[in-house]
Amino acid sequence: MVRAHIITYGCQMNEYDTHLVESQLVSLGADLVDSIDEADFVLVNTCAVRGKPVDKVRSLLGNLRKQKATRRLVVGMMGCLAQLEEGQQIARKFEVDVLLGPGSLLDIGAALESNTRFWGLHFKDELHDHIPPAPQGKLQAHLTIMRGCDHHCTYCIVPTTRGPQVSRTPDSILRELGGLLAAGVREVTLLGQNVNAYGIDQGAKLAGMPSFAELLRLVGRSGIERIKFTTSHPMNFTEDVAIAMSETPAVCDFVHLPVQSGSNAVLKRMAREYSREKYLEHIAQIRRHMPAAVLATDIIVGFPGETEDDFQQTLDLYDEVGYDSAYMFIYSPRPGTPSYKHFADLPRELKTERLQRLIVRQKDWSGRKNAAKVGTYQEVLLRGDAHDSGFLEGHSRGNHPVVVPKAVGADTAGIYRVKIGHATPHMLYGNIVGPGGEALPELPRLTPEAVAAPLMML
Protein backbone atom coordinates (compact mmCIF):
# COMPACT_ATOMS: atom_id res chain seq x y z
CA MET A 1 0.00 0.00 0.00
CA VAL A 2 1.33 3.43 -0.98
CA ARG A 3 1.41 5.96 1.86
CA ALA A 4 0.84 9.33 0.20
CA HIS A 5 1.06 12.92 1.35
CA ILE A 6 0.19 15.99 -0.76
CA ILE A 7 1.51 19.51 -0.11
CA THR A 8 -0.48 22.31 -1.76
CA TYR A 9 0.62 25.79 -2.77
CA GLY A 10 -1.45 28.45 -4.50
CA CYS A 11 -5.10 29.18 -5.06
CA GLN A 12 -8.42 27.52 -4.24
CA MET A 13 -8.31 25.80 -7.64
CA ASN A 14 -5.18 24.00 -6.46
CA GLU A 15 -6.92 23.01 -3.23
CA TYR A 16 -9.78 21.57 -5.30
CA ASP A 17 -7.30 19.70 -7.54
CA THR A 18 -5.56 18.29 -4.47
CA HIS A 19 -8.86 16.85 -3.24
CA LEU A 20 -9.48 15.35 -6.69
CA VAL A 21 -6.07 13.65 -6.74
CA GLU A 22 -6.47 12.46 -3.14
CA SER A 23 -9.72 10.76 -4.14
CA GLN A 24 -7.91 9.09 -7.05
CA LEU A 25 -5.13 7.83 -4.79
CA VAL A 26 -7.60 6.45 -2.24
CA SER A 27 -9.51 4.64 -4.99
CA LEU A 28 -6.20 3.03 -6.02
CA GLY A 29 -5.68 1.74 -2.48
CA ALA A 30 -3.30 4.42 -1.20
CA ASP A 31 -3.27 5.46 2.44
CA LEU A 32 -3.24 9.26 2.93
CA VAL A 33 -0.92 10.22 5.78
CA ASP A 34 -0.48 13.48 7.66
CA SER A 35 3.23 14.16 7.24
CA ILE A 36 6.17 13.79 4.89
CA ASP A 37 7.98 11.53 7.36
CA GLU A 38 5.17 8.94 7.24
CA ALA A 39 4.92 8.94 3.43
CA ASP A 40 6.68 6.94 0.75
CA PHE A 41 5.07 9.10 -1.96
CA VAL A 42 5.08 12.89 -1.59
CA LEU A 43 3.24 14.95 -4.21
CA VAL A 44 3.74 18.72 -4.41
CA ASN A 45 0.88 20.71 -5.96
CA THR A 46 2.54 23.84 -7.32
CA CYS A 47 1.68 27.43 -8.22
CA ALA A 48 3.54 29.48 -10.84
CA VAL A 49 1.64 32.78 -10.68
CA ARG A 50 4.29 34.50 -8.54
CA GLY A 51 7.93 33.92 -7.74
CA LYS A 52 7.50 33.27 -4.00
CA PRO A 53 5.54 29.97 -4.34
CA VAL A 54 8.16 28.78 -6.85
CA ASP A 55 10.93 29.52 -4.35
CA LYS A 56 9.03 27.51 -1.71
CA VAL A 57 8.79 24.56 -4.12
CA ARG A 58 12.54 24.69 -4.81
CA SER A 59 13.30 24.62 -1.08
CA LEU A 60 10.88 21.77 -0.41
CA LEU A 61 12.15 19.65 -3.32
CA GLY A 62 15.69 20.20 -2.11
CA ASN A 63 14.78 18.76 1.29
CA LEU A 64 12.94 15.85 -0.30
CA ARG A 65 15.95 15.01 -2.47
CA LYS A 66 18.04 14.73 0.70
CA GLN A 67 15.48 12.33 2.18
CA LYS A 68 15.54 10.21 -0.98
CA ALA A 69 19.21 9.53 -0.29
CA THR A 70 18.38 7.93 3.05
CA ARG A 71 15.07 6.13 2.48
CA ARG A 72 12.71 4.84 -0.20
CA LEU A 73 10.72 7.86 -1.35
CA VAL A 74 8.94 8.73 -4.60
CA VAL A 75 8.47 12.46 -5.23
CA GLY A 76 5.89 13.94 -7.59
CA MET A 77 5.09 17.43 -8.82
CA MET A 78 1.75 18.59 -10.22
CA GLY A 79 0.01 21.89 -10.90
CA CYS A 80 0.86 24.97 -12.90
CA LEU A 81 4.63 24.91 -12.42
CA ALA A 82 4.81 21.35 -13.74
CA GLN A 83 3.42 22.55 -17.07
CA LEU A 84 6.24 25.05 -17.65
CA GLU A 85 9.78 24.54 -18.93
CA GLU A 86 10.92 26.31 -15.75
CA GLY A 87 9.16 23.66 -13.68
CA GLN A 88 10.53 20.80 -15.75
CA GLN A 89 14.05 22.13 -15.23
CA ILE A 90 13.40 22.31 -11.48
CA ALA A 91 12.04 18.74 -11.57
CA ARG A 92 15.16 17.43 -13.29
CA LYS A 93 17.47 19.30 -10.92
CA PHE A 94 15.78 17.89 -7.82
CA GLU A 95 15.21 14.39 -9.25
CA VAL A 96 11.42 14.48 -9.25
CA ASP A 97 9.97 11.10 -10.31
CA VAL A 98 6.40 11.93 -11.38
CA LEU A 99 5.30 15.04 -13.26
CA LEU A 100 1.62 15.84 -13.90
CA GLY A 101 0.17 18.84 -15.73
CA PRO A 102 -3.05 20.53 -14.52
CA GLY A 103 -5.10 18.75 -17.19
CA SER A 104 -3.86 15.25 -16.39
CA LEU A 105 -4.73 14.75 -12.75
CA LEU A 106 -6.61 11.51 -13.41
CA ASP A 107 -3.39 9.98 -14.78
CA ILE A 108 -1.81 9.77 -11.34
CA GLY A 109 -2.39 6.01 -11.17
CA ALA A 110 -0.80 5.34 -14.56
CA ALA A 111 2.18 7.50 -13.63
CA LEU A 112 2.80 5.60 -10.40
CA GLU A 113 2.25 2.16 -11.93
CA SER A 114 4.68 2.72 -14.82
CA ASN A 115 7.74 2.59 -12.61
CA THR A 116 8.74 3.35 -9.05
CA ARG A 117 11.06 5.90 -10.61
CA PHE A 118 8.68 7.07 -13.31
CA TRP A 119 9.63 10.10 -15.40
CA GLY A 120 6.95 11.30 -17.74
CA LEU A 121 5.05 14.40 -18.76
CA HIS A 122 1.28 13.92 -18.68
CA PHE A 123 0.06 17.17 -20.20
CA LYS A 124 -3.39 17.45 -21.71
CA ASP A 125 -5.56 20.47 -22.36
CA GLU A 126 -8.93 18.76 -22.05
CA LEU A 127 -11.14 19.23 -19.03
CA HIS A 128 -11.60 16.07 -17.04
CA ASP A 129 -15.28 16.28 -16.14
CA HIS A 130 -14.70 14.06 -13.16
CA ILE A 131 -16.73 14.37 -9.97
CA PRO A 132 -14.64 13.61 -6.86
CA PRO A 133 -16.30 12.32 -3.70
CA ALA A 134 -17.53 15.03 -1.36
CA PRO A 135 -15.09 16.02 1.41
CA GLN A 136 -15.86 14.30 4.69
CA GLY A 137 -17.09 16.33 7.66
CA LYS A 138 -16.86 19.72 5.93
CA LEU A 139 -19.49 22.47 6.01
CA GLN A 140 -17.88 24.34 3.12
CA ALA A 141 -16.48 23.11 -0.17
CA HIS A 142 -15.11 24.31 -3.50
CA LEU A 143 -16.73 23.43 -6.82
CA THR A 144 -14.88 24.07 -10.08
CA ILE A 145 -17.23 25.28 -12.84
CA MET A 146 -14.58 25.93 -15.51
CA ARG A 147 -10.85 25.73 -16.11
CA GLY A 148 -8.38 27.81 -18.06
CA CYS A 149 -8.64 31.40 -19.27
CA ASP A 150 -9.17 33.10 -22.63
CA HIS A 151 -7.68 36.43 -21.53
CA HIS A 152 -3.99 37.13 -21.98
CA CYS A 153 -2.94 39.62 -19.33
CA THR A 154 0.72 40.39 -19.95
CA TYR A 155 1.80 39.40 -16.42
CA CYS A 156 -0.17 36.14 -16.16
CA ILE A 157 1.07 32.61 -16.77
CA VAL A 158 -2.35 30.91 -16.34
CA PRO A 159 -3.26 30.66 -20.08
CA THR A 160 0.05 28.83 -20.60
CA THR A 161 -0.31 26.48 -17.63
CA ARG A 162 -4.04 25.76 -17.71
CA GLY A 163 -4.89 26.43 -21.35
CA PRO A 164 -7.99 28.06 -22.86
CA GLN A 165 -11.26 28.28 -20.99
CA VAL A 166 -13.39 25.14 -20.81
CA SER A 167 -16.78 25.35 -19.04
CA ARG A 168 -18.40 22.39 -17.33
CA THR A 169 -21.99 21.51 -18.17
CA PRO A 170 -24.69 22.60 -15.71
CA ASP A 171 -25.70 18.95 -15.29
CA SER A 172 -22.18 18.00 -14.17
CA ILE A 173 -22.02 20.96 -11.77
CA LEU A 174 -25.40 20.14 -10.23
CA ARG A 175 -24.50 16.44 -9.85
CA GLU A 176 -21.37 17.37 -7.93
CA LEU A 177 -23.37 19.88 -5.89
CA GLY A 178 -25.89 17.17 -5.05
CA GLY A 179 -23.11 15.04 -3.62
CA LEU A 180 -21.88 17.96 -1.53
CA LEU A 181 -25.37 18.60 -0.16
CA ALA A 182 -25.79 14.92 0.72
CA ALA A 183 -22.48 15.05 2.62
CA GLY A 184 -23.69 17.97 4.74
CA VAL A 185 -21.97 20.86 2.95
CA ARG A 186 -23.78 24.15 3.63
CA GLU A 187 -21.60 26.65 1.76
CA VAL A 188 -20.08 26.22 -1.70
CA THR A 189 -17.59 28.45 -3.53
CA LEU A 190 -17.81 28.26 -7.33
CA LEU A 191 -14.29 28.32 -8.78
CA GLY A 192 -12.75 29.34 -12.06
CA GLN A 193 -9.98 31.53 -13.43
CA ASN A 194 -12.78 33.81 -14.65
CA VAL A 195 -16.12 32.57 -13.34
CA ASN A 196 -18.28 35.30 -14.85
CA ALA A 197 -17.18 34.25 -18.35
CA TYR A 198 -18.77 30.85 -17.69
CA GLY A 199 -20.36 29.42 -20.85
CA ILE A 200 -18.41 31.70 -23.21
CA ASP A 201 -15.42 29.61 -24.25
CA GLN A 202 -12.88 31.16 -26.62
CA GLY A 203 -15.20 34.11 -27.19
CA ALA A 204 -18.23 32.09 -28.30
CA LYS A 205 -21.41 31.42 -26.31
CA LEU A 206 -21.79 27.66 -26.05
CA ALA A 207 -25.10 26.31 -27.31
CA GLY A 208 -27.51 25.43 -24.52
CA MET A 209 -25.23 26.74 -21.77
CA PRO A 210 -26.60 29.20 -19.20
CA SER A 211 -24.84 32.49 -18.51
CA PHE A 212 -23.05 32.85 -15.20
CA ALA A 213 -26.00 34.87 -13.84
CA GLU A 214 -28.35 32.06 -14.85
CA LEU A 215 -26.02 29.48 -13.28
CA LEU A 216 -26.11 31.40 -9.98
CA ARG A 217 -29.91 31.23 -9.99
CA LEU A 218 -29.78 27.51 -10.86
CA VAL A 219 -27.36 26.70 -8.05
CA GLY A 220 -29.39 28.91 -5.72
CA ARG A 221 -32.43 26.64 -6.23
CA SER A 222 -30.49 23.51 -5.23
CA GLY A 223 -31.00 23.87 -1.50
CA ILE A 224 -27.45 25.01 -0.69
CA GLU A 225 -27.55 27.66 2.03
CA ARG A 226 -24.63 29.86 0.99
CA ILE A 227 -22.97 30.48 -2.39
CA LYS A 228 -19.76 32.38 -3.11
CA PHE A 229 -17.64 32.57 -6.24
CA THR A 230 -14.13 33.54 -7.30
CA THR A 231 -12.49 34.99 -9.35
CA SER A 232 -14.20 37.53 -11.58
CA HIS A 233 -12.66 39.50 -14.45
CA PRO A 234 -14.10 43.03 -14.81
CA MET A 235 -14.12 42.63 -18.60
CA ASN A 236 -16.80 39.92 -18.29
CA PHE A 237 -18.73 41.26 -15.31
CA THR A 238 -22.32 42.17 -16.27
CA GLU A 239 -25.15 43.86 -14.44
CA ASP A 240 -27.11 40.60 -14.81
CA VAL A 241 -24.70 39.04 -12.30
CA ALA A 242 -25.36 41.78 -9.73
CA ILE A 243 -29.13 41.38 -10.27
CA ALA A 244 -28.94 37.58 -9.91
CA MET A 245 -26.94 37.96 -6.71
CA SER A 246 -29.50 40.35 -5.22
CA GLU A 247 -32.44 38.11 -6.19
CA THR A 248 -30.93 34.78 -5.09
CA PRO A 249 -31.04 34.55 -1.27
CA ALA A 250 -28.37 31.86 -1.06
CA VAL A 251 -25.75 34.02 -2.83
CA CYS A 252 -23.60 35.88 -0.30
CA ASP A 253 -23.23 39.64 -0.63
CA PHE A 254 -19.49 39.37 -1.20
CA VAL A 255 -17.84 40.33 -4.49
CA HIS A 256 -14.16 39.82 -5.27
CA LEU A 257 -13.45 41.94 -8.37
CA PRO A 258 -9.72 42.34 -9.10
CA VAL A 259 -8.76 45.79 -10.41
CA GLN A 260 -4.94 45.32 -10.40
CA SER A 261 -4.28 49.06 -10.95
CA GLY A 262 -6.11 52.38 -10.84
CA SER A 263 -4.12 53.79 -13.77
CA ASN A 264 -5.42 53.42 -17.32
CA ALA A 265 -1.85 53.51 -18.64
CA VAL A 266 -0.85 50.57 -16.44
CA LEU A 267 -4.08 48.68 -17.20
CA LYS A 268 -3.30 49.02 -20.90
CA ARG A 269 0.23 47.61 -20.44
CA MET A 270 -1.32 44.79 -18.43
CA ALA A 271 -3.76 44.09 -21.33
CA ARG A 272 -6.64 44.07 -18.84
CA GLU A 273 -9.15 45.12 -21.54
CA TYR A 274 -11.06 47.62 -19.35
CA SER A 275 -10.50 51.15 -18.11
CA ARG A 276 -10.67 52.65 -14.64
CA GLU A 277 -13.97 54.27 -15.64
CA LYS A 278 -15.47 50.97 -16.83
CA TYR A 279 -14.40 49.27 -13.61
CA LEU A 280 -16.11 51.95 -11.53
CA GLU A 281 -19.30 51.42 -13.58
CA HIS A 282 -19.29 47.80 -12.40
CA ILE A 283 -18.85 48.92 -8.79
CA ALA A 284 -21.83 51.26 -9.24
CA GLN A 285 -23.91 48.37 -10.66
CA ILE A 286 -23.06 46.17 -7.69
CA ARG A 287 -23.98 48.87 -5.19
CA ARG A 288 -27.17 49.74 -7.03
CA HIS A 289 -28.49 46.22 -6.58
CA MET A 290 -26.63 45.30 -3.36
CA PRO A 291 -26.06 48.45 -1.27
CA ALA A 292 -24.50 46.43 1.55
CA ALA A 293 -22.16 44.41 -0.66
CA VAL A 294 -18.72 43.62 0.75
CA LEU A 295 -16.08 44.40 -1.86
CA ALA A 296 -12.62 42.86 -2.19
CA THR A 297 -9.99 43.20 -4.89
CA ASP A 298 -6.49 42.27 -6.11
CA ILE A 299 -3.83 44.91 -6.72
CA ILE A 300 -0.38 44.53 -8.31
CA VAL A 301 2.10 47.17 -7.15
CA GLY A 302 5.12 48.20 -9.19
CA PHE A 303 4.14 46.86 -12.59
CA PRO A 304 6.80 47.76 -15.20
CA GLY A 305 6.58 51.43 -16.13
CA GLU A 306 4.38 52.35 -13.15
CA THR A 307 5.12 55.97 -12.21
CA GLU A 308 4.46 57.67 -8.90
CA ASP A 309 1.41 59.28 -10.51
CA ASP A 310 0.16 55.86 -11.68
CA PHE A 311 0.51 54.53 -8.15
CA GLN A 312 -1.25 57.56 -6.70
CA GLN A 313 -4.18 56.82 -9.03
CA THR A 314 -4.37 53.33 -7.49
CA LEU A 315 -4.45 54.84 -3.98
CA ASP A 316 -7.16 57.27 -5.10
CA LEU A 317 -9.21 54.43 -6.60
CA TYR A 318 -8.94 52.54 -3.32
CA ASP A 319 -10.44 55.56 -1.55
CA GLU A 320 -13.12 56.01 -4.20
CA VAL A 321 -14.31 52.40 -3.91
CA GLY A 322 -13.61 51.94 -0.21
CA TYR A 323 -12.74 48.25 -0.36
CA ASP A 324 -13.39 46.03 2.64
CA SER A 325 -10.25 44.00 1.91
CA ALA A 326 -7.60 43.44 -0.74
CA TYR A 327 -4.95 40.97 -1.81
CA MET A 328 -1.88 43.07 -2.58
CA PHE A 329 1.31 41.93 -4.30
CA ILE A 330 4.43 43.50 -5.69
CA TYR A 331 4.87 42.67 -9.37
CA SER A 332 6.67 39.36 -9.80
CA PRO A 333 8.17 38.82 -13.29
CA ARG A 334 7.32 35.31 -14.48
CA PRO A 335 9.25 33.63 -17.30
CA GLY A 336 7.02 32.95 -20.29
CA THR A 337 4.83 36.03 -19.88
CA PRO A 338 4.91 39.03 -22.28
CA SER A 339 5.75 41.47 -19.47
CA TYR A 340 8.78 39.36 -18.52
CA LYS A 341 9.99 39.34 -22.11
CA HIS A 342 9.32 42.94 -23.11
CA PHE A 343 9.17 45.16 -20.01
CA ALA A 344 11.99 46.20 -17.67
CA ASP A 345 11.27 45.50 -14.01
CA LEU A 346 11.27 48.29 -11.42
CA PRO A 347 13.71 48.27 -8.46
CA ARG A 348 12.48 45.99 -5.69
CA GLU A 349 13.03 48.70 -3.07
CA LEU A 350 10.62 50.99 -4.94
CA LYS A 351 7.99 48.26 -5.29
CA THR A 352 8.27 47.35 -1.61
CA GLU A 353 7.93 50.97 -0.49
CA ARG A 354 4.77 51.42 -2.57
CA LEU A 355 3.32 48.18 -1.25
CA GLN A 356 3.81 49.38 2.31
CA ARG A 357 1.92 52.59 1.54
CA LEU A 358 -0.92 50.60 0.01
CA ILE A 359 -1.06 48.31 3.04
CA VAL A 360 -1.47 51.37 5.28
CA ARG A 361 -4.38 52.52 3.10
CA GLN A 362 -5.92 49.04 3.14
CA LYS A 363 -5.66 48.73 6.94
CA ASP A 364 -7.34 52.11 7.36
CA TRP A 365 -10.30 51.15 5.16
CA SER A 366 -10.59 47.62 6.58
CA GLY A 367 -10.49 49.04 10.10
CA ARG A 368 -13.28 51.50 9.34
CA LYS A 369 -15.42 48.92 7.54
CA ASN A 370 -15.02 46.34 10.29
CA ALA A 371 -15.63 48.88 13.06
CA ALA A 372 -18.99 49.61 11.45
CA LYS A 373 -19.93 45.96 12.07
CA VAL A 374 -19.63 46.31 15.87
CA GLY A 375 -23.10 45.94 17.39
CA THR A 376 -24.51 44.19 14.30
CA TYR A 377 -25.72 40.61 14.00
CA GLN A 378 -23.91 38.45 11.45
CA GLU A 379 -24.68 34.98 10.11
CA VAL A 380 -21.40 33.13 10.67
CA LEU A 381 -20.31 29.71 9.46
CA LEU A 382 -18.12 28.40 12.27
CA ARG A 383 -15.69 25.74 11.04
CA GLY A 384 -14.26 24.52 14.33
CA ASP A 385 -11.63 25.31 16.94
CA ALA A 386 -9.52 28.43 16.64
CA HIS A 387 -5.87 28.40 17.74
CA ASP A 388 -7.17 28.68 21.31
CA SER A 389 -9.42 25.65 21.81
CA GLY A 390 -11.79 27.74 23.93
CA PHE A 391 -12.85 29.59 20.78
CA LEU A 392 -14.39 28.79 17.40
CA GLU A 393 -13.41 30.44 14.12
CA GLY A 394 -15.33 31.01 10.92
CA HIS A 395 -16.51 33.65 8.48
CA SER A 396 -19.56 35.78 7.82
CA ARG A 397 -21.64 35.93 4.63
CA GLY A 398 -19.46 38.90 3.74
CA ASN A 399 -16.34 36.72 4.13
CA HIS A 400 -15.14 38.49 7.29
CA PRO A 401 -13.03 36.22 9.54
CA VAL A 402 -14.87 35.84 12.88
CA VAL A 403 -13.84 34.41 16.26
CA VAL A 404 -16.29 33.59 19.08
CA PRO A 405 -16.01 31.88 22.48
CA LYS A 406 -17.51 28.41 22.62
CA ALA A 407 -21.04 28.53 24.01
CA VAL A 408 -23.48 26.08 25.58
CA GLY A 409 -25.42 24.39 22.78
CA ALA A 410 -23.07 25.75 20.13
CA ASP A 411 -19.69 24.16 20.72
CA THR A 412 -19.50 22.44 17.33
CA ALA A 413 -19.18 23.63 13.74
CA GLY A 414 -22.31 25.12 12.20
CA ILE A 415 -24.03 28.32 11.06
CA TYR A 416 -24.89 30.62 13.96
CA ARG A 417 -26.13 34.15 14.63
CA VAL A 418 -23.32 36.21 16.13
CA LYS A 419 -23.39 39.68 17.68
CA ILE A 420 -20.14 41.50 16.91
CA GLY A 421 -18.59 43.14 19.94
CA HIS A 422 -15.10 44.06 18.77
CA ALA A 423 -13.24 44.53 15.50
CA THR A 424 -9.71 44.91 14.16
CA PRO A 425 -8.77 45.62 10.51
CA HIS A 426 -8.56 41.89 9.84
CA MET A 427 -10.91 40.19 12.30
CA LEU A 428 -14.36 40.42 13.90
CA TYR A 429 -14.97 39.16 17.45
CA GLY A 430 -18.38 38.39 18.91
CA ASN A 431 -20.67 36.07 20.81
CA ILE A 432 -23.17 33.51 19.60
CA VAL A 433 -26.70 34.71 20.38
CA GLY A 434 -30.10 33.06 20.71
CA PRO A 435 -33.28 33.83 18.76
CA GLY A 436 -34.04 36.88 20.90
CA GLY A 437 -30.53 38.31 20.63
CA GLU A 438 -29.43 37.13 24.08
CA ALA A 439 -25.84 35.90 24.36
CA LEU A 440 -25.55 32.15 24.93
CA PRO A 441 -23.56 31.29 28.06
CA GLU A 442 -19.92 30.49 27.37
CA LEU A 443 -18.55 27.06 28.10
CA PRO A 444 -16.10 26.99 31.02
CA ARG A 445 -12.52 27.53 29.86
CA LEU A 446 -10.04 24.74 30.64
CA THR A 447 -7.42 26.83 32.46
CA PRO A 448 -3.95 25.54 33.46
CA GLU A 449 -5.15 25.61 37.10
CA ALA A 450 -8.17 23.43 36.24
CA VAL A 451 -5.91 20.92 34.52
CA ALA A 452 -3.47 20.84 37.45
CA ALA A 453 -6.17 20.41 40.16
CA PRO A 454 -6.93 16.71 39.51
CA LEU A 455 -3.21 15.93 39.44
CA MET A 456 -2.73 17.56 42.84
CA MET A 457 -5.48 15.35 44.29
CA LEU A 458 -3.76 12.11 43.24
Tens of pLDDT along the chain (458 residues) come to: 789 999 999 888 889 899 989 988 998 889 999 999 999 999 999 998 888 899 999 999 999 999 999 999 999 999 999 888 899 999 999 999 988 888 788 888 887 777 544 444 444 444 456 788 888 889 999 999 998 999 999 999 988 888 899 999 999 999 999 999 999 999 999 999 999 999 999 888 998 899 999 999 999 999 999 999 999 999 999 999 999 999 999 999 999 999 999 999 999 999 999 999 999 999 999 999 999 999 999 999 999 999 999 999 999 999 999 999 999 999 999 998 999 999 999 999 999 999 999 999 999 999 999 999 999 999 999 998 888 878 999 999 999 999 999 988 787 899 999 999 999 999 999 999 987 778 888 876 544 443 333 333 33
Looking at the fold, whether 455 and 415 belong to one and the same domain comes out as: yes
The answer to whether position 130 is within a domain reads: no
Looking at the fold, whether 168 and 223 belong to one and the same domain comes out as: yes
Looking at the fold, whether 7 and 110 belong to one and the same domain comes out as: yes
Q: Is 291 exposed, middle or buried (0-12, 13-18, 19+ CB in 10 A)?
A: exposed
Residues 6+ apart with CB under 8 A from 284: none
Looking at the fold, whether 256 and 388 belong to one and the same domain comes out as: no
Task: Determine the pLDDT at residue 290.
Answer: 97
- Name the residue type at position 324: D
Rounded CA separation 242/160 (Å): 31
Looking at the fold, whether 158 and 118 belong to one and the same domain comes out as: no
| Domains contained in the chain, number | 3
Please report, for the domain that includes residue 387, its CATH number. 2.40.50.140
The answer to whether position 127 is within a domain reads: no
Rounded CA separation 69/409 (Å): 52
Among 340, 366, 392, the domain boundary falls at 366
The answer to whether position 217 is within a domain reads: yes
The pTM for the full model equals 0.87
Looking at the fold, whether 240 and 117 belong to one and the same domain comes out as: no
Structural domain range at position 396: 373-458
Looking at the fold, whether 172 and 98 belong to one and the same domain comes out as: no
The answer to whether position 64 is within a domain reads: yes
Task: Determine the pLDDT at residue 445.
Answer: 58
The answer to whether position 133 is within a domain reads: no
Rounded CA separation 352/223 (Å): 46
Rounded CA separation 161/84 (Å): 7
Residues 6+ apart with CB under 8 A from 200: 165, 167, 206, 236
Of 232, 229, 213, residue with least CA distance to 272: 232
Among 366, 388, 404, the domain boundary falls at 366
The answer to whether position 128 is within a domain reads: no
Looking at the fold, whether 276 and 380 belong to one and the same domain comes out as: no
The answer to whether position 129 is within a domain reads: no
Of 21, 23, 27, 19, residue with least CA distance to 1: 27
Looking at the fold, whether 256 and 293 belong to one and the same domain comes out as: yes
Looking at the fold, whether 105 and 25 belong to one and the same domain comes out as: yes
How far apart, in Å, are the Cα atoms of 401 and each of 251, 323, 324, 370, 396?
18, 16, 12, 10, 7
Please report, for the domain that includes residue 272, its CATH number. 3.80.30.20
Cβ contacts of 73-76, under 8 Å, gap ≥ 24:
73/39, 73/40, 73/41, 73/42, 74/40, 74/41, 74/42, 74/98, 74/112, 74/116, 74/117, 75/41, 75/42, 75/43, 75/44, 76/41, 76/42, 76/43, 76/44, 76/100, 76/108, 76/111
Looking at the fold, whether 307 and 203 belong to one and the same domain comes out as: yes
Among 329, 347, 366, the domain boundary falls at 366
Looking at the fold, whether 190 and 111 belong to one and the same domain comes out as: no
Paired with 254 in beta bridges are 294
